[in-house]
Amino acid sequence: MSTGFLSTRRSGYPSSVCARARARVNLGSTSTVTPHDERIFLCQGKRPRSQEHRIQLRVYKAPEEPNIQVNALGIPVDSKEPEEVATCVGRNGYPIPQVIWYKNGRPLKEEKNRVHIQSSQTVESSGLYTLQSILKAQLVKEDKDAQFYCELNYRLPSGNHMKESREVTVPVFYPTEKVWLEVEPVGMLKEGDRVEIRCLADGNPPPHFSISKQNPSTREAEEETTNDNGVLVLEPAQKEHSGLYECQGLDLDTMISLPSEPQELLVNYVSDVRVSPAAPERQEGSSLTLTCEAESSQDLEFQWLREETGQVLERGPVLQLHDLKREAGGGYRCVASVPSIPGLNRTQLVNVAVFGPPWMAFKERKVWVKENMMLNLSCEASGHPRPTISWNVNGTTSEQDQDPQRVLSTLNVLVTPELLETGVECTASSDLGKNTSILFLELGKGCIPAGDGRGRPRHGQ
């Protein structure tokens, strides 16, 4: 709503007459005041030769918040004359507000061939003014992040006031001067990583990119296939992806192609690990030397682990085993790793065979059973050469190879009075001998776990 403000110029009338006149004018202020109401009111008494009294009504109306619209199409830096940056509109103000344009917080002024401000106003049917101001300017590359806004200055009875628009950024187009490659992740790469290679440029809009890799045999650049976003994705990265990469940026307006600096990409790797001898066999009491080899793009560290326990036996590529016992048979794992690149390693498992007769997990064992129940009995034996297991009773049997020197046999049998009397025997046999375990069956409610009641190992006969 507009604000009416009365100012008086007294002409010799008594104050009571002025007050009554002012009161009659204020009666009209209960209605909406518009700029059309701005005028001078005359007050004159009825006495002869009385002087007139003038009362001036001034109307003020703050404009609405300024609305700013940026040139979304953008401005090229090589334009020959100032181009439209943005338009500012301040609606429904009175008197006419003034507009000031700002760039990065500093006011702009008219500058020949550089800055031009074109303002116009429209009188609405209400008598209020709508102001439109267009800012035109020649921009440079450094203006790509510049913040523009407009400010409306207006007067009210209380003094001068102002309202600011939001800040806007106009797209600025400038030619590409430099093209470069960017690789993610940053740092040392390893086989198995997801690697992204992309091209970047300092122009807007960016040029059309292509990525090429130098063929190590011909030294010729060969274009690589990128995804829809122009990114070359190596997943999983392999050592074959190592090499010299280059970007080409083609300006579709000038058809000028700019190359990037070639960039060396190194995908670090560890080759397959080789252990010698690959399938070692030794007699009890003898010695064995295991050697581990591998290649890598970085310095390697080796260590030997016992497969069954994970215990570290040796740090280095060579493992020495002396005075071999039967227990020394089994798996040994060599780990080749790059300490400077976490997660980059390869391993190789080797099984050591120690010649000897079959060895049983237990000599004898007691099992609690119920008569006429179906019973599963298991028997485990190891040795080199690997033994076979047989049972002294009829039933359903199955065997599982636990490792190259160890076998597990399972017997499914019906518990009968005869079986309760005789018990069950399992016999492990090989070319170097045999060994037997006895399972005694006792009537009862439960079963002793397989790990209980184990006797001492019995070597073959």
pLDDT, tens only, 391-411? 999 999 998 887 778 899 999
**To which residue do tokens 């009209």 refer?**
28
53 within domain boundaries: no
Query: What was the pLDDT predicted at 31?
Result: 57
pLDDT in tens, 341-362: 999 999 999 999 999 899 888 8
pLDDT in tens, 191-243: 999 999 999 999 999 999 999 999 999 999 999 999 999 999 999 999 999 99
Beta bridge partners of 3: 60
Query: What was the pLDDT predicted at 451?
Result: 36
Let me know whether 345 and 404 are in one domain: no
Question: Would you call the peptide bond into 35 cis, given omega within 30 degrees of 0 as the criterion?
Answer: no
The more confident residue out of 21 and 102 is 102
Those residues with Cβ within 8 angstroms of residue 269's Cβ, 6 or more apart along the chain or in another chain = 190, 191, 238, 239, 296, 297, 344
27 within domain boundaries: no
pLDDT in tens, 88-138: 999 999 999 999 999 999 999 999 999 999 999 999 999 999 999 999 999
Query: What was the pLDDT predicted at 404?
Result: 78
Q: Of 176, 196, 180, 178, give the one whose Cα is nearest residue 246.
A: 180
Work out the number of other CB atoms within 10 angstroms of the CB of residue 121. Answer: 14
Beta bridge partners of 92: none
pTM more than 0.85? no
Q: Among the three residues 236, 268, 300, which one is the final residue of a domain in this structure? A: 268
433 backbone φψ class: left, alpha, beta (φ>0; ψ -120 to 50) = left
Please report how many Cα atoms fall inside a 13 Å half-sphere around the Cα of residue 456, on the Cβ side: 2
CA 76 to each of CA 73, 86, 112, 117: distance values in angstroms, whole numbers, following the listed order: 10, 15, 18, 19
Task: State yes or no: pLDDT of 328 exceeds 70.
Answer: yes
Residue 31 tokens read as 């209605």
Let me know whether 148 and 183 are in one domain: no
Please report how many Cα atoms fall inside a 13 Å half-sphere around the Cα of residue 172, on the Cβ side: 19
Number of domains present in the structure of the chain: 4
Q: Which range of residues forms the domain containing residue 92?
A: 67-173
261 within domain boundaries: yes
Query: What was the pLDDT predicted at 8?
Result: 41
Let me know whether 75 and 167 are in one domain: yes
Q: How far apart are CA 128 and CA 36, in angstroms?
A: 9
Query: What was the pLDDT predicted at 350?
Result: 96
pLDDT in tens, 359-384: 888 899 999 898 889 999 999 998 88
Let me know whether 232 and 300 are in one domain: no
Query: What was the pLDDT predicted at 11?
Result: 43
Task: State yes or no: pLDDT of 311 exceeds 90.
Answer: yes
Let me know whether 262 and 287 are in one domain: no
Let me know whether 190 and 211 are in one domain: yes
- What does the pLDDT average to over 64-73? 97
456 within domain boundaries: no
Residue 276 tokens read as 């010698």
Query: What was the pLDDT predicted at 2?
Result: 57
Three-state SS sequence of the chain = CCEEEEEEECCCCCHHHHHHHHHHHHHHHHCCCCHHHCEEEEEECCCCCCCEEEEEEEEEECCCCCEEEECCCCEECCCCCCEEEEEEEEEEEECCCEEEEEECCEECCCECCCEEEEEEEEECCCCCEEEEEEEEECCCHHHHHCCEEEEEEEEECCEEEEEECCCECCCEEECCCCEEEEEECCCCEECCCCEEEEEEECCECCCEEEEEEECCCCCCEEECCCCCCCCEEECCCCHHHCEEEEEEEEECCCCEEEECCCEEECEECECCCEEECCCCEEECCCCEEEEEECCECCCCEEEEEECCCCCEEEECCEEEECCCCHHHCEEEEEEEECCCCCCCEEEEEEEEEEEEEEEECCCEEEEEECCCCEEEEEEEEEEECCCEEEECCCCEEEEEEEECCEEEEEEEEECCHHHHHHCEEEEEEECCEEEEEEEEEEECCCCCCCCCCCCCCCCCC
Query: What was the pLDDT predicted at 402?
Result: 77
Terminal alpha carbon distance of the chain: 116
Those residues with Cβ within 8 angstroms of residue 374's Cβ, 6 or more apart along the chain or in another chain = 412, 413, 414, 415
Let me know whether 188 and 95 are in one domain: no
412 within domain boundaries: yes
Query: What was the pLDDT predicted at 167?
Result: 97
Q: Among the three residues 251, 268, 285, which one is the final residue of a domain in this structure? A: 268
196 within domain boundaries: yes
Task: State yes or no: pLDDT of 448 exceeds 60.
Answer: no
391 within domain boundaries: yes
Q: What is the average pLDDT value for the chain, to the nearest integer?
A: 88
Let me know whether 262 and 297 are in one domain: no
Let me know whether 295 and 210 are in one domain: no
Which CATH number goes with the domain that contains 280?
2.60.40.10
